[in-house]
Structure 1
Amino acid sequence: MNNSLVEQGKAQKFSAKNIRVTCSDYWSSYAEVFDPDTHQSVGKHTGLTNHVEGFNATARHGLGRLTRQTLSFSKNKENHEAVLHAFILQYNQEMMQKYQTR
């Protein structure tokens, strides 16, 4: 792939405004979701999926409805989406405050 994301074992950083490639692990279903021209399957050793994996763990920890076999899962799709939306808004606000105070 041109403009390899990994140079000398360190991942390049991309801003959200300038994403040129999407990275995922080797799960075959990603081929149906991501644009094949910009998608790159990578192993865990590259570190390119760390941020999204960290967010997923935070979301599962903060929202019991995202864990398996939970009693708090919304049966109504709109309620489930509203709670997830509220969580993401709060998470983004906390991250903005965290990085603005540095």
Structure 2
Amino acid sequence: MVVGDRSAGTARRLWSALPRGYRTGVIVFTDFLASYRAVIPAPRHRAAGKGTGYTAHIERFGLTLRSRCARFARKTRTCSKCPRNHLGALWYFIRLYSQSRP
């Protein structure tokens, strides 16, 4: 996981954080943002819209995150102003969610 905006720099940090085997063996589906095209090698990258269903699992994860953690919902009063606390809550949720999956 990498936290940041959707710039090429953040995409580069995420791509380099992936294990080498993952970077060479899979196809990555993203939306049509140019920063992904600039970072992910062409043989591994496919741009796909929401209608294709290829990005549905990550969209579902985002909804699950906002449903289960009030701090990630829009216009909430439970959001910490400290970025470190916000990041810690995100890490905690992702680890707990990953352990609960079969």
Return the structure number with greater helix share. Answer: 2
**Cα-Cα RMSD:** 2.1
Q: Give the drift of 1:47.
A: 1.3
The alignment of Structure 1 onto Structure 2 pairs a total of residues equal to: 79
Change (3 A) 1:69 1:89: same
Is the aligned partner of 1:35 residue 2:40?
yes
| Unaligned residue ranges in structure 1 (runs of 5+) | 1-16
Unaligned stretches of 5+ residues in structure 2:
1-20
How far apart, in 2, do the equivalents of 1:46 and 1:53 lie?
A: 12
Identity %: 34
Choose 1 or 2 for highest CA Rg. Answer: 1
Deviations 1:10-64 (Å, cap 9, x if unpaired)? Answer: xxxxxxx6452221223455446x4252332112232111111111110010111
TM-score (norm 1): 0.63
1:65 corresponding residue in structure 2: 71
